[in-house]
Chains A and B, each alone.
Chain A
């Protein structure tokens, strides 16, 4: 059986940063990713990152992705692409399918950085071709350079919905409307302003009633709601669209952590059920770490910092050393990222996770 000091599952921003930090400390790292190219969702983020003062602000996600890949190459990390980590068994043995073959890897430490999946929004007609996740649409447009539709309705006026709307405009599509059932825009105002400047209406307190079509989406019915979120049916409106993008949040992909017997908690502001972890990103199972969206839905910038923290902590565990100063810097940066109405809620939830971890470990 292959033996590794640190096995990282998921080569997105968190996994890549963890690999780089751990390699810098001389740790033997194996990075496993299901895709043909690492980088996770960074390569579809063609907009400039916003909101983080220290670094990354003003840089496009795609550029950050390329920089990370170069760094990973420089530190000579073992990378298995097109490989699926399907299970974590006792004694930190990982099952991987690589080139159609089953391989077992024994790891001293494991970092699960598997990311997240877009939430569906069920409504009549939502399974029709042409109704898709907003992130999926972003993948099609920015990575594959294929327009999945010409006239779009975006459901959700959070950052993802607003950014995807703008990127669809850049790619040549027409946005008929961005709608959100909440009475206010939950995304950053810079993104909302760009949409409004482009002449796209943002309808708040509005829901979708139906996607119409037989073989594909041909139209959508949207409808304003009252204060109790009940549709005001007589005000419903037919929209001529062939694409409906759903941007109603993400859910952490933490099946591997369930399987590894990690203790969980529920934090709605971070996307739902999450593995408990301490200030070093270690879960309740000894030697298993978590970072990025699968430890709580946030942003690429926080995922990268959490990845670094997990990488250093895993190195500490293996080498029995302390790098407290480096970790402190990272924690400070994480706190700086978690500001504003939503950032503050995420920060509190993260603190609760750490507190619950220590309570659970004691008993």
Chain B
């Protein structure tokens, strides 16, 4: 499969992309490259992944709508925790991200 890269490396107003530390994230066990300081949603969109979850009832795909943490359309399961707003959650090295089906499920019970 062709590698998709949607990053804007050179911008007429903002200039060159600043140097950032690379981190590895795992989307359903597939390794992807992300950069420290960016959000999970930005990292996934940069890799061409725009459908982040499926709805409970009609199994429809959903992606980002507001990108500021208000609409909760972009939630995914991160490190076993469902319903995490990916548009405001920064990536961390070795983060485990999963496409979420419906309301998602806790990996392990906390009680």
Contacts and interface: CB of A to CB of B under 8 A. Distances in A.
Interface of A: 34-36, 41, 46, 60, 117-118, 120, 127-133, 135-137, 139-142, 144-148, 170-172, 215-216, 253
Contact of B8 (A35, A133, A139, A141): A141
Contacts of B68: 41, 117, 135-136, 139
A146 B7 contact: yes
Contacts, number: 97
Interface residues of B, number: 33
Given A46-B14, A142-B14, A145-B11, A127 B6 contact: no
Interface of B: 6-9, 11-14, 17, 38-39, 42, 45-46, 50-52, 60-71, 73, 87-88, 90
Contacts of B60: 127-128
A35 B88 contact: yes
A244 to B, nearest CB: 11
Contact of A144 (B42, B50, B65): B42
Contacts of B7: 145-147
Nearest to A242: B50
Nearest to A125: B60
Nearest to A37: B37
A82 to B, nearest CB: 9
A118 B73 CA distance: 13
Contacts of A172: 8
A170 B67 contact: no
19 contacts: A34-B88, A35-B69, A41-B68, A46-B13, A117-B70, A117-B71, A127-B62, A128-B61, A130-B50, A132-B63, A135-B68, A136-B64, A137-B67, A139-B68, A140-B45, A142-B14, A145-B11, A147-B6, A147-B7
B6 A148 contact: yes
A34 B88 CA distance: 9
Interface hub of B8, B12, B60 (most chain A Cβ within 10 A): B8
A129 B8 contact: no
A133 B69 contact: no
Nearest to A217: B50
B66 A133 contact: yes
Contacts of B90: 36
Contacts of A36: 88, 90
